[in-house]
Amino acid sequence: MPIEPHPAESPLCGMPLEELETLFYPQPRFRAAQIFKWIARGILDFDQMTDIPGALREELKSRYTLCSGKIESQHRAKDTVKLALVFPDGARIESVLLYGGKKRRTACLSTQAGCPAGCVFCKTGSLGFSRNLSSAEIVEQFLFLRRAAGGDVDNIVVMGMGEPLLNLDELRKALAIITDSRGMNFSRRRITVSTCGISEGIIDLGEKGPAVRLALSLNTADEPLRQKLMPITSAQPLQKVKEALAFFQEKGGGRVTLEVVLLGGVNTRSEDAVSIAKFAQGLDTVVNLIPWNPAPGLEFENRPLAEPGTREIEKFARQLESQGLKVTRRLKKGRGIMGACGQLGALPEQQGEKNLKHAD
């Protein structure tokens, strides 16, 4: 019996197994399971699904798409791959694969085209907001990055373009697909979601899951300064954010990473260290220091942003540690291809790089 038509804007890679079973009825349920497993393996061509009868493959090809994004460009450095994807409506996003120690591979996924947060130190924030991504558009980023890795991916960080908790329903659906034991079977414990501090979203994540790791883009606990640096936080006061984090941890969420992008001469004062320690009191946290990655055209209070100096970073780290905080540091990766934290949306040539294959 024929399969019901399916809207072109809903690629199959963004559908849970149960949704595929309903969609393909009255085909046997095992057909949906076969296709779900093929997608999990990274097969995005019906012709390669060899256990599906030829006539059915032809019908599937005429009715459905497996994914909608196309790789517009790919830039490689020795420790980073950056993919630019474009979707049928013209929306463009970027995703990054990072190589770590012991050949560890981390996929950095985007959840929105552009970003509504407007953080002054982030290139993506300067682009404005276009739209949320669908679950399929999130899943296929992972599939494309895994293919670029030439093997398994060890970790997922949802730290690319956009504010994940403003697109939580689609992100939740995408992560359900990625972690489904009947398909990709990726461990939730190896997934970290980063947020600017959307307190309602943090509470929702704590209540309904999934049980992933959480990172807060804090940057400073000086409320007025934070609101200047991150305009979206004017509606998210720190006390409300802290209460949401406490709720998240009460519900079983683990240690929260407090991300601090260090801006030279802006948020590296001793009072910043003290205020961060005060914010962290009563929470299980670790502070991750991220020296600002230069991106063209970004400034604060009419002055170009600057990288912090080595001594400035060391001094601030010691000040945090003297307050009893555990401190880690983000390694600089992907700068040469504009694939580092805060650089997505900028072109590698804007950094003056000529050799993209060996930019680092």
Catalytic residue among 21, 94, 163, 259: 94
Specify the 3-state DSSP secondary structure of 174: helix
Beta-ladder partners of 215: 194, 257
Specify the 3-state DSSP secondary structure of 77: strand
Identify whether 223 is a catalytic site residue: no
Residue 85 and residue 93 in contact, taking contact as beta carbons nearer than 8 Å: yes
d(CA 10, CA 248): 32
d(CA 326, CA 323): 9
Identify whether 94 is a catalytic site residue: yes
User: What's the burial of 121, exposed, middle or buried (CB within 10 Å: 0-12/13-18/19+)?
Assistant: buried
Catalytic residue among 115, 122, 196, 341: 341
User: What amino acid positions are annotated as catalytic residues?
Assistant: 94, 341
